[in-house]
Amino acid sequence: MATGYPMKQSQSRRPRRATSGGKGSGGAGQTPGDFRRGNARRRGTALVLATAVVASVFAARLVDLQAVRGEALADAALSQRLRTLEIPAYRGSILDRTGQALAVTVEARNVTADQTLIEDPAALAVELAPILEVPQDVLADRLTGEKRFMYVAKGVNPETWDRINSLRLPGIFSEETSQRTYPAGDLASHIVGFVQGDGSGGAGIESAFNDFLTGTPGQQTYERGPRGRVIPTQNQSSTAAVAGSDVQLTVDRDLQFVAQEALQGVFQRSGASSAAAVVMDIRTGEILAMATAPDFDPNRFTQSTEDDRRNRAITDIFEPGSTGKVITAAAVINEGVVDPLTPIKVPGTLERAGKKINDYWEHGTLRLTMTGAFAKSSNIGMILAAEKMPKRQLARYMEKFGITERTDLGLPGESAGLMLQPERWYGTTFQTMAFGQGYSVTAVQMTDVFATIANGGVRVKPSIIDATIDAEGIVTKTPDAEGDRVVRPETARQVMAMMEAVTAEGGTAPQARIPGYRVAGKTGTAQFVDLDCRCYAGDITASFIGVAPADAPRLAVGVFVHQPQRGRSGGELAGPVFKEITTYALQAMQIPPSGKRAPRLSLTTG
């Protein structure tokens, strides 16, 4: 049946047989197998090309790394492995006159950490805390992070580091350092000073001689491998540190101990605000001991106040009071206006410039000799003697004795004292200066005045540095100071005789006498200037300065007690301290007892 649509012819599919000729009836086209073989060749070509490209990139990179930037990259890698450490220079020691150490540097270690090598900071902190005596949380914080170098603890002793090192803790290392220590604690602490956290001197000799003591640090460079181990290579190098110089003092350690103990005793008994003691060798000017109360321990200086650390023997100035009468006596005798037996009529009061001047005790008119006025410490008697010479002469003698100039011990903070020049004097300035008020001095300055009289009138400037000793052991001695004559030998002899009357019966300081030795000296009970009101508010400075043996002088010893609350006079408070210190010094130095009796000078005119 015919339709309008073409009919679809049915076809039957038969399997195609492969022929031996390799081509089927389909003519020249490729079979599917042929197509697959051609596709593999393409892939191989592409793979070769890709490999060539990648190899070219790697080659170019290799050329860049090795040929172009090889040296720079090698240097950078080496720099990451290299570590340079400073080798600290051992700080020089501070020694007493016999070579005993007052300050010394000992080996120590800084414990460090590489935080990147520490997997469990808390666990390490648990192990380190009891050894370092640092809280666990503080240590854990120091051990946590990405820093390659971190201080865990500084200045630990070698034994402590050995305990830590034996634990083989990952990321924990150490570096060599040193620790400043003061074997005798507070002994001579005001002289020696202390070292601050940055390694520099903070006071005393440590500060004044910091450049001598410090030395020159060395350097060590090495390669560090995994876990911080040292790699022995040719890149290791080191420069040795050069130790600092030692400083040897004139101070005798044993005498310093006795002086400090005796001074601390009167400081506590009297309730004073402070006290000082100075021991000088009259012939050389060397300071054998210099004590101050209150004191401090330089091993723990941060636990003390700045006020406690002040060396009051050279920094604090005060009015000397009656010990200053030695200057007046030397001046008037040297000028020839009086001698030890010159009669002086001393009234109960003296009026000058509209003001009444009294002695420390009430009395009527006294008929004294110059020695009597001095031995009994009469203010009025000293004024009357001083008024026999021109006023400017008193100022001139004070300057010759070293008042108003630093003693140049080389210690920081030394005061020059304070005195008005004559053109600025007013009212009773001259009169008060004649008996030791109206000008200010340091303890060392006043002790030096007595040493000058005892040395036959020749002033030898005080010194406290005996020598420096460099790292090679070369000793450089401090040159001997040249003496300056202040008064004639005969004047000095006469004043010494008057000073002996002070410790004799009828004088103000029998408590300062030493059996077997002649002692010359002078007491002082001076009004103390209150810096808040700049006035005399009732406090005093009690002092005694003496010389022994008086017949062959070797030692001048000054004791000063400021603002005592129990006790008032210099003879009562300072005299016994002088006796204790000087007795020990005489015996320790094997100074023979006096061989002659003291001269007997009349105190009155009858």
The pLDDT tens digits for 201-241 are: 999 999 999 999 998 888 877 766 655 555 666 556 778 88
Tell me the mean pLDDT in the region 486-495: 98
């030397």: which residue's tokens? Answer: 330
CATH 3.90.1310.10 domain range(s) in the chain: 90-215
Catalytic residue among 322, 378, 463, 569: 322
- Position 26 pLDDT exceeds 90: no
Question: Which of 6-20, 73-87, 279-293 is least confident?
Answer: 6-20
Residue 322 among the catalytic residues: yes
- Position 14 pLDDT exceeds 70: no
Q: Which residues pair with 358 in a beta bridge?
A: 349
Tell me the mean pLDDT in the region 324-350: 97
CATH assignment of 253-588, given 1.10.357.10, 3.40.50.800, 3.40.50.1370, 3.40.710.10? 3.40.710.10
pTM: 0.81
Tell me the mean pLDDT in the region 40-66: 70
- Pairing between strand 94-95 and 246-249? parallel
- Position 393 pLDDT exceeds 70: yes
At position 435, the amino acid (one-letter code) is F
Number of CB atoms found within 10 A of residue 170's CB: 13
CATH 3.40.710.10 domain range(s) in the chain: 253-588
What is the reported pLDDT for 65? 52
pLDDT higher at 495 or 35:
495
CA separation (Å) from 180 to 110, 164, 183, 213, 268?
14, 22, 10, 12, 30
pLDDT higher at 74 or 522:
522
What is the reported pLDDT for 62? 65
What is the reported pLDDT for 30? 46
Mean of the per-residue pLDDT values of the chain = 88
- Position 92 pLDDT exceeds 90: yes
Instruction: Return the exposure string of 132-166: e unless at least 16 CB atoms fall within 10 Å of the residue's CB, then b.
Output: bebeeeebbebbbeeebebebbeebeeebbeebee
Q: CA-CA distance, 382 to 326, in Å (whole number)?
A: 10
- Position 398 pLDDT exceeds 50: yes
What is the reported pLDDT for 224? 64
What is the reported pLDDT for 19? 40
What is the reported pLDDT for 4? 41
What is the reported pLDDT for 47? 75
- DSSP secondary structure string for all residues of 455-508: TTTEE---B-EEEEE-TT--EEEPPPPPPEE-S-HHHHHHHHHHHHHHHSTTSS
Question: Strand locations in 306-443, DSSP E?
Answer: 343-346, 349-352, 355-358, 366-369
Q: CA torsion 155→156→162→164, rounded to 10°?
A: -110
What is the reported pLDDT for 138? 95
pLDDT tens across 264-299, in order? 999 999 999 999 999 999 999 999 999 999 999 999
Q: How confident is the model at residue 56 (pLDDT cuts 50, 70, 90)?
A: confident
Architecture of the domain whose range is 90-215 = Alpha-Beta Complex (3.90)
Q: CA-CA distance, 426 to 433, in Å (whole number)?
A: 12
- Position 420 pLDDT exceeds 90: yes
Question: Which of 119-128, 223-232, 492-501 is least confident?
Answer: 223-232
